[in-house]
């Protein structure tokens, strides 16, 4: 592709106790792309995401993020890495007792020594990026679900991360709000060049935002498809991939 791999996953094995969830998977994520991890329920999407952000250490294999091997690094290196990534959780994960401004400003205050005026300026910029200017003093309980997602995204971008991770960003949103969030993701990717890794099963969102996808499979515990989502939908020779992308129930074995 002529681009630098900003995330490298090499021969990753993920286990919970004796249960193997992912078995020897390997892939790269390139700088500036929107990379989507998809698959059916229980295939290991969320488990893989947790490995990519360092919440879980691999049973075997390596995860290298922006040059740091997070499968085998010390706390100091990992803390520095956390300043270069941002995470949008399913619920937005905002602190309910804090205003949107305070939520977004929290990582800036935690990881920098900027004066309050500079923090306030950055917070206003981040909220404006997600079309929430004017809502600085609102509590999470005072805004809609879609606005909470956007506020969570503003906080994820607070430190100008090189990589943004999304865990089911459209979960719980109505179709119109989901489309607006997809548009925002595309806009931020184009304007900022931020690498984005998204876990989702929402086909419309996948077709709209994904530059490239990998599909995980519960039975093989591995990657059964990689590439352009629409191409896989129309041309994949794997029947399970075609079932997924065409919203077809799997045919029962005779």
- What is the model's pLDDT at position 253? 37
What is the residue whose two structure tokens read 């917070």? 123
Same domain, 188 and 80: yes
- Identify the CATH number of the domain in which residue 219 sits: 3.40.50.300
Owning domain of residue 17: 5-84+162-245
What is the residue whose two structure tokens read 């890495």? 81
**pTM of the model as a whole:** 0.91
Would you call 239 exposed, middle or buried from its count of C-beta atoms within 10 A (0-12, 13-18, 19+)? exposed
Same domain, 121 and 150: yes
Q: What is the mean pLDDT of each run of 10 residues along the chain (254 residues)?
A: 86 95 97 95 93 94 95 89 90 87 93 92 94 93 91 93 93 87 93 95 92 96 96 93 80 44
Structure tokens at 33: 């792309």
Same domain, 74 and 10: yes
Last residue of a domain, one of 160, 179, 196: 160
Q: What is the DSSP letter of 126?
A: H
Same domain, 152 and 167: no
Q: Report if residue 253 sits inside a domain.
A: no
- What is the model's pLDDT at position 90? 76
């Amino acid at each position: 592709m002529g681009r630098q791999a900003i995330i490298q996953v090499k021969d990753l094995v993920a286990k919970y106790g004796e249960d193997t969830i992912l078995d020897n998977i390997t892939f790269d994520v390139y700088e500036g792309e929107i990379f989507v991890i998809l698959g059916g329920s229980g295939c290991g999407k969320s488990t893989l995401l947790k490995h990519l952000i360092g919440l879980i250490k691999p049973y075997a294999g390596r995860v290298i993020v922006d040059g740091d091997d997070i499968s085998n690094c010390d706390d100091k290196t990992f803390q520095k890495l956390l300043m270069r990534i941002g995470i949008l959780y399913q619920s937005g994960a905002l602190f309910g007792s804090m205003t949107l401004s305070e939520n977004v400003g929290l990582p800036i205050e935690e990881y920098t020594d900027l004066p309050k005026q500079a923090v306030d300026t950055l917070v206003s910029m981040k909220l404006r990026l997600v079309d929430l200017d004017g809502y600085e003093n609102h509590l999470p309980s005072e805004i809609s679900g879609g606005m909470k997602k956007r506020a969570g995204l503003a906080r994820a971008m607070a430190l100008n991360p090189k990589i943004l991770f999304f865990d089911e960003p459209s979960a719980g949103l109505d179709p119109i709000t989901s489309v607006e969030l997809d548009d925002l993701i595309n806009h931020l990717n184009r304007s900022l060049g931020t690498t984005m890794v998204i876990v989702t099963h929402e086909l419309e969102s996948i077709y709209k935002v994904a530059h490239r996808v990998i599909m995980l499979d519960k039975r093989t515990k591995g990657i059964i498809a990689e590439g352009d989502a629409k191409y896989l939908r129309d041309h994949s020779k794997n029947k399970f991939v075609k079932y997924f992308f065409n919203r077809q129930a799997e045919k029962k074995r005779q």
